Amino acid sequence: MFRWLIGTIALSMMATGALAADPVEIHIGYLGHAGVKSTLSLVEQPADNDGIAGARLAIEDNNTTGKFLNQRFVLDEVKVKDSDDVAKVATDLAGRNDYIITDLPADALLKVADALRDRGTVLLNAGAIDDRLREQDCRGNVIHVAPTRSMLADALGQYLVWKQWKRWLLVTGSHDQDKLYAEALRRAATRFGAKIVQERTFEDTGGARRTDSGVTLIQRQMPVFTQQAPAYDVLVAADESEVFANYLPYRTWDPRPVAGSAGLVPTSWDASHDQWGAIQIQNRFVKLNMRRMTALDMQAWTAARMIGEATSRTNSGDLKKVTAFLKSKDFSIAAFKGTRLTLRDWNWQLRQPILLADGRMVVSVSPQEGFLHQVSELDTLGVDRPETKCKLQ
Amino acid sequence: MWRRCLLTGMLVWLAATPASAFVAYVSNEKGNTVTVIDTNSWAVTKTIKVGQRPRGVEFSRDGKFVMVAVGDDDTIQVIDTKTQEIVDTLPSGPDPELFTQDAAGNTLYVANENDNTVTVIDLKTRARIGDIQVGVEPEGMTISPDGKILINTSETTNMAHFIDTSTRQIVANVLVDSRPRFAQFKRDGSELWVSSEIGGTVSIIDPVKREVTGKITFEIPGLRNEAIQPVGIGMTKDGKTAFVALGPANRVAVVDGATHKVLKYLLVGQRVWHMDFTPDEKYLMVTNGVSNDVSVIDVASQKVIKTIQVGELPWGITIAQP
Looking at this predicted complex, what is its ipTM? Answer: 0.81
Secondary structure, 3-state, B280-320: CCCEEEEEECCCCEEEEEECCCCEEEEEEECCCCEEEEEEE
**A280 with B158: Cβ contact below 8 A:** no
- Check A280 against B114: CB less than 8 A apart: yes
The answer to whether A68 contacts B161, with C-beta atoms less than 8 Å apart, is yes
- Out of A65, A315, A376, the one facing B136 most closely (by C-beta) is A65
pLDDT at A20: 54
Q: Which of B72, B163, B195, B226 to mutate to test the interface with A (most CBs of A within 10 A)?
A: B226
Q: A122-125 and A142-144: which strand pairing?
A: parallel
pLDDT at B97 over 50: yes
Is there a contact between B38 and B21 (Cβ–Cβ < 8 Å)?
A: yes
Poorest-pLDDT segment among A169-183, B114-128, B142-156:
B114-128
Q: Which of B95, B137, B226 sits opposite A339 (nearest CB)?
A: B226
Give per-residue pLDDT as tens, B5-42.
Answer: 555 555 444 444 445 589 999 999 999 999 999 999 99
Q: How much is the pLDDT for A114?
A: 97
DSSP for A73-121, please give it: EEEEEEEE-TTS-HHHHHHHHHHH-SEEEE---HHHHHHHHHHTTTTTP
B97 touches chain A (CB under 8 A): no
Alpha carbon distance A361, A355 (integer Å): 10
Q: Choose among B157, B198, B200: nearest Cβ to A64.
A: B157
Distance CA A218, CA B105 (A): 67
What is the model's pLDDT at position A16? Answer: 41
Average pLDDT of span B112-136: 92
A-chain residues near B154 (CB < 8 A)? 65
pLDDT at position B233, please? Answer: 98
In 3D space, the residue among B29, B3, B146, B191 whose CA is nearest the CA of residue B98 turns out to be B29
Give mean pLDDT, residues A58-80.
Answer: 96
Strand, helix or coil at A44?
helix
pLDDT for res B135: 93
B289 — contact with chain A (CB < 8 Å)?
Answer: no
**Partner residue opposite B179 with nearest CB, options A64, A283, A334:** A334
Rounded to an integer, the average pLDDT of A187-214 is: 86
User: Is B50 touching A (CB cutoff 8 A)?
Assistant: no
Chain B: residue nearest A302 by CA? B156
Q: A64 and B135 in contact by Cβ < 8 A?
A: yes
Mean pLDDT, rounded, for B166-174: 96
Enumerate chain A positions whose Cβ falls within 8 A of a Cβ in B: 61, 64-65, 68-69, 277, 280, 283-284, 305, 309, 312-313, 315, 332-334, 338-340, 373, 376-378
Rounded to a whole number of angstroms, the distance from the CA of B90 to the nearest CA of chain A is 22
Give how far B238 is from chain A: nearest CA, Å: 34
pLDDT band for A243, please (50, 70, 90 cuts): very high
Q: How confident is the model at residue B308 (pLDDT cuts 50, 70, 90)?
A: very high
Q: Report yes or no on whether pTM surpasses 0.90.
A: no
User: What is the average pLDDT across B111-136?
Assistant: 92
pLDDT, mean of residues A12-35:
75
H-type helices in chain A, by residue range?
Answer: 2-19, 52-69, 86-96, 106-115, 149-162, 176-192, 214-226, 278-289, 295-314, 319-326
Contact B226 A333 (CB under 8 A): no
Strand order in the sheet with B251-256: B233-235, B241-245, B251-256, B262-267
Question: Is pLDDT of A15 > 70?
Answer: no
**Rounded mean pLDDT, A253-270:** 98
Given this model, what pLDDT does residue A230 score?
98
